[in-house]
């Protein structure tokens, strides 16, 4: 899995939601192991898709537009939030299809994103909105 896979497999779904590529950090180190992050900017929030060999998988993270493009698993600014932690949407996807091809795994991630993005985005924006 590489940072270029994000664009290859997720670009149409992200573009349909108004996201544009904002940066790629393809050679990170997290927990003394390889990692990467791909950053997107939308109209009202930022999206990061990141991966670390240490954690063993890819994560979707959301942040306000003023958040720095920093690796979300390290998150020194404390501005990046896990999409799945923000979302209250139920899903019946089950675990990712391990041992399958990249296309099937990214199709599963696309479904995960489609289900959880809007509820997570709503929670992020309402949580940080002044009252």
Which residues, including other chains, have CB under 8 Å from residue 86's CB and lie 6 or more apart? Answer: 62, 119, 120, 121, 123, 124, 127
The alpha-carbon radius of gyration of the chain (Å, integer) is 14
On the question of pLDDT at 128 being above 60, the answer is no
Residue 2 structure tokens: 């590489």
Q: What is the pLDDT of residue 100?
A: 77
As for how many domains the chain has, the answer is: 1
Average pLDDT (57-77) is 93
pLDDT > 90: what percent of the chain?
A: 67
> Which among 50, 42, 49 is positioned nearest to 121, based on CA atoms?
42
Report the Cα–Cα distance between both ends of the chain, in Å, rounded.
42
Token pair of 116 as six digits: 């959880």
The dihedral built from the CA positions of residue 47, 51, 52 and 57, taken in this order, carries a sign that is: positive
**Does residue 131 register a pLDDT over 50?**
no
* The model's pTM: 0.90
Domain range enclosing 111? 3-127
pLDDT in tens, 79-102: 999 999 999 999 999 888 877 788
């Amino acid at each position: 899995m590489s940072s270029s896979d994000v664009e290859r497999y997720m670009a149409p779904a992200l573009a349909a939601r108004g996201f544009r590529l904002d940066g790629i950090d393809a050679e990170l180190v997290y927990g003394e192991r390889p990692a990467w992050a791909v950053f997107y900017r939308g109209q009202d929030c930022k999206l990061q898709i990141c991966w670390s060999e240490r954690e063993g998988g890819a994560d979707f993270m959301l942040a306000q537009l003023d958040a720095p493009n920093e690796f979300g698993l390290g998150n020194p600014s404390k501005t990046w939030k896990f999409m799945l932690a923000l979302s209250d949407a139920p899903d019946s996807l089950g675990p990712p299809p391990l041992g399958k091809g990249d296309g099937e795994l990214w199709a599963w991630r696309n479904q995960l994103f489609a289900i959880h993005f809007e509820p997570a985005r709503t929670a992020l924006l309402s949580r940080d909105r002044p009252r």
